[in-house]
Structure 1
Amino acid sequence: MTISVLIADDHPIVRDGLRGIFTGRGFEVVGEAANGAEAVALAERLRPDVVLMDLRMPGTDGVAAIAELARLGNPARVLVLTTYDTDSDVLPAIEAGATGYLLKDAPREDLFRAVEAAARGEAVLSPAVASRLLGRIREPAREPLSQRELEVLTLVARGSTNKEAAKKLFISEATVKTHLIHVYAKLGVKDRAAAVAVAFERGLLGS
């Protein structure tokens, strides 16, 4: 059975290369799109089995296109093919409805197998992406800091001792220590310096 493929990538040379490797191998490239909006329009008209979707394209990007295809109920399976494997790229694409996620440095045989699997509705993830997603699943949920915990941490970041923080917040020194213990647990750290550093990193404290 021939698998119909739509290629969505803003680089003509990439589209040409993909068309070349897929032609005559049990696949039929039925169309090419240079951005997400074109990909959605062509997928609606051509009804391909699989859409090979780049993520970063001008105008409508890949994630927006994936979400739109899902909203429209388009039956095409979307296989992301990109050079990016950061959390900010991988997670939105998977959440939007992508069937798989491969990197452009994947061997062509892996790409063929991935498209075949995607056409069957099977999830396909490159090893790097799979381990990244597993890491996020295993990572404990981050419980937000309470307003009082943020106030204590802000004073600590400004150099206040527990005693000084207690005086400024009109609470006991023991209460300040309790708040800090909770802060350490929520941020996954063991001391004041690390708590302040992580809080800045996460944007919890002003610069």
Structure 2
Amino acid sequence: MILPIFFIFSLIFASSSAAAQDFCVGDLSRSYGPAGYSCKSPSKVTVNDFVFSGLGKAGNTSNIFKASVTPAFAAQFPGVNGLGLSMARMDLAVGGVVPMHSHPGGSKLLLVVQGSILAGFISSNNAVYYKTLYKGDTMVFPLGLLHFQINLGETAAVAFATFSSPSPGLQITSLSLFGNNLLTELVAKTTFVGKAEVERLKSVLGGTNSGVFV
């Protein structure tokens, strides 16, 4: 009786051990796919794959947005590959803005650690939720919804974001609309923004007027 029981437990242990995988450090030399990066060979994994030091340094806010976002996603931090989480640092100079954008691959939890940030999002039924956040405040932004952050304070602001994905993705609405090469007439028709304003926004955000109607 003891031998059959021992044999059964041996099979269970063997199958569970075979199925278990502690981590899947991303192999950045290979292409990113729907399931993330392929796993690096365990023999090539080092402790440095599980450490990222880039969030301790302020980003460069000398740009049109007066803002900087430093990601610690799978592409920068291969140890989070396959673990369902990642982080980023946000620096906002006075008057800085992270314009309306979305993360199609993950929800975001924002923690303000310096200054104050006006943050909000728009639900799929166009309800708006926004509030000024101060040091120690957190706000959650559900997956895929348009949201923004603005520094309306008198000092620089810093926040850290945690995502529910190692690669949450990013689409900035204004850049998607006016930083492209669609015909100005086409952008104007689909956005109900006047042609002259579309041309102005394209010039500011790097868009061109190339392309043809098909």
Whose helix proportion is higher, 1 or 2? Answer: 1
The structure showing larger relative contact order (alpha-carbon pairs under 8 Å, at least 6 residues apart) is: 2
- Whose strand proportion is higher, 1 or 2? 2
Q: Structure 1-normalised TM-score?
A: 0.30
